[in-house]
Amino acid sequence: ALLDLSGVHQVKGTWMASTTLPCTYVPLEGFTQQTLVWSLERDHSTSALFRRDDSGDHVLLAQFRDRVSVPRQSPGDASLLIDSLEIPDSGHYTCQVTWRSQNNSLVQKEVTTTVKVVKVPATKPVIRPGELGLRVPAGARASLTCVASGSPPISYRWFRSSPGGSAELLGSQAELAWDSLQPSDAGEYYCEAENR
């Protein structure tokens, strides 16, 4: 039996999303993981970004502070989880594990993954039209819901059109609700959806 790391050659990550860079091995009896180092090579320079040893976990690059972690409870899993990917996170990531055997010799293996962070095409919100001309009895509960597709986050605003072309802002949630409709609530309502 041999200690060997398995990973993947390439990972495509989406900007602002999270991704996992796999680095796993089958634990062998008589071998203890001493250190795990993840390093990043970009623009022809390499820096260690994460280190796990007897003293704990250390994030060594400020740009990854609070954004990277490695599973704790699963032996043999040295995968790196990166949150809220930034475009500069693209580069070559190397996972290097060192084990100590019972006779105190050291074994070291590494595996490299290329990460490419891509921006997904942003899309403006598209609202699915609701029913037109709703008839609701007075005193009833009712609600209007605005549903839009597009790049999140999407914010909503409900307006009521009044005669003379002015609009009254009624709420900034996707749903506009009434506990008890009154005849004075009759009229035209419209929704506006907006994203970045």
- The reply to whether CATH 2.60.40.10 applies to domain 126-195 is yes
Structure confidence at residue 1 (pLDDT): 55
Domain at 5-118, CATH class: mainly beta
- HSE of 70 in the Cβ direction (CA atoms, 13 Å)? 25
Place of tokens 């490419």: 116
Does position 54 have pLDDT exceeding 80, yes or no? yes
Is the full-model pTM beyond 0.75? no
Domains 5-118 and 126-195 share a fold: yes
Percentage, residues of the chain above pLDDT 90: 63
Torsion of CA 22, 45, 86, 13, to 10 degrees: -30
Residue 81 has pLDDT above 60, yes or no: yes
Domain edges within the chain: 5-118, 126-195
107-131 pLDDT, tens digit per residue, is 999 999 999 998 877 778 888 777 7
Residue 83 has pLDDT above 90, yes or no: yes
For 56, counting Cβ atoms within 10 Å of its Cβ (0-12 exposed, 13-18 middle, 19+ buried), the class is exposed
